[in-house]
Amino acid sequence: MKNLILDIKYYLLFLMVITIAFYLYLNFGDNFGKNYAPEIISDTSFRDQMVLESDSETEIYKGALSKKIKVDKNDTLIKILASNEVDNRFIKALIKTKGSEKLADIKTGDFIEISFSKNKIPIEIFVTRNGLKGVLAEFKDKSYTIKNHQRVPEVLERFASVTIDESLYQSALKEGISDSVIMDLVYIFGWDIDFVFDIRSGDSFEILYEEYFYKGEKIKNGDIKAARFKRGKNIFSAIRFFSKVSGSKEYFSTRGENVKKAFLRTPVEFSYISSRYNLKRKHPVLNKIRAHTGVDYAAPTGTPVRSTSSGTVSFIGNKGGYGKLIEIKHSEDYSTRYAHLSKFNPRLSNGSKVDQGETIGYVGQTGLATGPHLHYEFRVGGNHTNPLTVKLPDAKPISEIEKKEFLDHAIKMINRLDELFLKFYAQI
């Protein structure tokens, strides 16, 4: 009898537990699921769950943990966040936040920067390509906001003086100058100096350029502000100037002459010149004397080919021994041809406008060609001329309206180069 009474008590206790559990499920089950089931967390319940000690806890404190992750192929935002110690609750809250689709639109090569607060809340999540412009998620007042964001960098000057002993590229790298700055320098002076054939040991240059920093970390290189290249007895100078008249940034000599020419000297990054302009050349395929009315630049198949000046496409297609050919008319007097291409820029057709330096096609060996190369022709008044020796027309100089302003600026920049040059060698 005693055991029976005990069994009844246990049975009644069990029924009571079941009844309480059923009551809690009916009244609070939805919220329970929303708060803790990873699939269905909501913004409201999330905010209710978050309990912070103080507002200061949500600030990025000095020495806070920050992570920078480069996006690889097949990466997703959720995958990256989950594998970098971001709690699932915060991931769910981000997904529910307006603008999350912009944050999640990541591409291979992008960077995701995550900054954690003292209590390990992912306070900032910044998706960026260049470190300055991107999409930012900020955690404030117990919720996220997502918006496009432009960081304001610190811009610092850097000066370098280089004497060439091997090659321009190797000598510049030894002084800590990055690839992008070297290429900018070559581009600026590339109209006056042939950096393939004209550079010799002992040539030198000074350069003043910008570097962009954010929170002490270098983000990228900026513009060259001023440069001076010494080649033998010749000195070439380039000063950056923002023209209010043209609304653009350009480089001028100290006399106000545009360092740019109306034409680029070469249309392709080439390995070597395989055939020069020669009106009595023996054709390598036809094996007979046939005038070679251009210059052949040997380069790997697929190398981008640039228009040497702005103009209009007057012909695009196949043309006999030229293979795939583009002809561009630049003015009444000037036109250029680009032959043996493997393919064209798909946007181009007859009548298309092209800009100087724009990729118009890619190196190939179509038509009568023994190997991959670009055949480049330069015509003046309809007549063939040697692209390597033709005097290129100048671009517009500084406007008379801005000439005094520019000359004052140029004097300051040259004095600045001289000052930094003396300081540089005083430290050696």
- Residue 95, pLDDT > 50, answer yes
CA distances in angstroms from 170 to 184, 194, 299, 342, listed in the order given: 15, 17, 21, 32
CA distances in angstroms from 163 to 166, 182, 205, 346, listed in the order given: 9, 14, 7, 43
Q: Do domains 54-150 and 154-252 have the same CATH topology?
A: yes
Q: CA 141 from chain center: how many Å?
A: 36
Top CATH class of 272-385 equals mainly beta
Q: For residue range 5-51, list pLDDT tens digits in order.
A: 545 555 555 556 566 555 554 444 433 333 323 332 233 333 333 33
**From 66-75, 187-196, 348-357, the region with the lowest mean pLDDT:** 187-196
AA letter at 47: R
pLDDT at residue 180, rounded to an integer: 87
pLDDT at residue 271, rounded to an integer: 73
Of residues 126 and 290, the one with the higher pLDDT is: 126
Query: Which residues lie across from 338 on neighbouring strands?
Result: 326, 376
Which is it for the CA torsion 250, 252, 258, 263, positive or negative? negative
**What is the average per-residue pLDDT within 214-233?**
90
Supply the DSSP string of 131-145, one letter for each residue.
Answer: SSEEEEEEEETTEEE
pLDDT tier for residue 265 given thresholds of 50, 70 and 90: confident
pLDDT at residue 43, rounded to an integer: 36
- Percent of the chain, pLDDT > 70? 81
Count of CB atoms situated within 10 Å of the CB of 305: 27
**Domain layout of the chain by residue ranges:** 54-150, 154-252, 272-385
CATH architecture of 154-252: Roll (3.10)
**What is the average per-residue pLDDT within 234-247?**
90
- Can you name the CATH fold of 54-150? Nuclear Transport Factor 2; Chain: A, (3.10.450)
Of residues 14 and 419, the one with the higher pLDDT is: 419
Tokens in use for 337? 């041809």
**From 24-28, 253-257, 275-279, the region with the lowest mean pLDDT:** 24-28
- Residue 337, pLDDT > 50, answer yes
For residues 402 and 416, give the distance between their C-alpha atoms in angstroms, rounded to a whole number. Answer: 21
pTM equals 0.59
Specify the residue for token string 């060259």. 224
**From 33-37, 398-402, 419-423, the region with the lowest mean pLDDT:** 33-37
Specify the residue for token string 């069990």. 14
For residues 144 and 36, give the distance between their C-alpha atoms in angstroms, rounded to a whole number. Answer: 19
Which of 187, 240, 231, 260 is CA-nearest to residue 413? 240
